[in-house]
């Protein structure tokens, strides 16, 4: 089985300018030693399964993610893994995420820290841990209402159901070459309960509305911008740097204090 893999290197594309095609070709020649964590993660994926790689350098990330979704659905791959350029995940964790998403025929995200090191890119994580049987053993997950898309694995059936159940509109990737709309509008910035939400939380909302919320893979380390985190099966936060833990605790205490009457 092949995996459709997408990553978005808009920062690199902006710096490379006209030399972008040459630059990205050089980076892809040896993925394992790329200067971009996301590409090193793709390199690790190639040790798990054959991959069909889609790299987008556009700064319009909402459109880029939708185009990637369309390309995945038009491919023959059974699973789509999307990884951001600053996310680093090892092959063992990649394999676990792949096995779980196949076992549940759904979507599996890895929890990770925001760049500020003060919060995790997810919201409303279920208190109950579910256990999923796979060929690698029984693996722990929890349902999550909203999740970042730094690293997410999804089956074809899952993405198709999210589109169908929400009657998602589509647009043409290329108005001159595409006869029919071929990119589902799954990633849009918007507002929710008076707060701004990014395109990743928007997809999460569609998944929840379809009755198929994303799962977070637990005991699965994920590094974002140099900071590694995992949630244990018991829901505890494990970080590489103790100083970050202290800042998280203080930030949580501050929020709790400000919320008290």
Interatomic CA distance for residues 201 and 258, integer angstroms: 25
**pLDDT tens profile 108-133:** 999 999 988 889 999 999 999 999 99
The residue-averaged pLDDT of 239-244 equals: 64
Domains belonging to the chain, first-starting first, are 3-259 (3.90.550.40)
Interatomic CA distance for residues 6 and 244, integer angstroms: 30
Q: What are phi and psi of 182, to 5 degrees?
A: -130, 10
The residue-averaged pLDDT of 187-210 equals: 96
| pTM (2 d.p.) | 0.90
What percentage of the chain reaches a pLDDT higher than 70?
95
Q: Of 37, 4, 51, 66, nearest to 222 (Cα)?
A: 37
Q: Are 80 and 51 in contact (CB under 8 A)?
A: no
Which tokens belong to 130? 């579910």
The residue-averaged pLDDT of 30-44 equals: 96
Q: Three-state DSSP class for 31?
A: helix
Q: Is the pLDDT of residue 261 over 60?
A: no
Please give the full DSSP string across 215-250, using - where no structure is assigned.
Answer: EEESS--EEETTEEEEE-TTS-EEES-HHHHHHHHH
Number of alpha carbons in the 13 Å side-chain half-sphere of residue 30: 3
- Kind and range of the H or E element at 6? strand 3-8
Interatomic CA distance for residues 135 and 25, integer angstroms: 35
3-state helix/strand/coil string of 64-76 = HHHHHHHHHHHCC
- Residue 217 forms beta bridges with which residues? 141
């Amino acid at each position: 089985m092949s995996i459709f893999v997408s990553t978005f290197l808009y920062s690199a594309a902006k710096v490379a300018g006209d030399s972008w095609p040459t630059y990205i070709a050089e980076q892809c020649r040896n993925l394992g030693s790329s200067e971009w964590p996301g590409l090193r993660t793709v390199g690790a994926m190639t040790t798990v399964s054959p991959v069909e790689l889609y790299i987008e350098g556009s700064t319009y990330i909402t459109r880029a993610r939708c185009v990637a979704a369309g390309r995945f659905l038009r491919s023959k791959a059974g699973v789509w893994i999307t990884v951001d350029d600053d996310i680093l995940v090892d092959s063992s964790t990649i394999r676990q995420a792949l096995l779980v998403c196949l076992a549940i025929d759904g979507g599996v995200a890895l929890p990770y820290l925001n760049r500020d090191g003060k919060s995790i890119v997810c919201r409303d994580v279920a208190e109950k841990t579910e256990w999923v049987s796979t060929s690698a053993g029984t693996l722990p997950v929890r349902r999550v209402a909203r999740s970042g898309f730094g690293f997410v694995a999804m089956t074809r059936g899952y993405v198709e159901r999210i589109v169908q159940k929400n009657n998602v509109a589509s647009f043409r990737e290329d108005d001159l070459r595409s006869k029919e709309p071929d990119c589902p509008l799954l990633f849009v910035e918007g507002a929710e309960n008076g707060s701004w939400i990014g395109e990743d939380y928007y997809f999460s909302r569609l998944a929840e509305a379809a009755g198929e919320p994303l799962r977070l893979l637990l005991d699965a380390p994920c590094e974002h911008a140099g900071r590694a985190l995992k949630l244990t099966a018991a829901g505890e936060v494990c970080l590489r740097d103790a100083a970050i833990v202290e800042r998280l605790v203080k930030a949580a205490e501050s929020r709790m204090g400000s919320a008290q009457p």
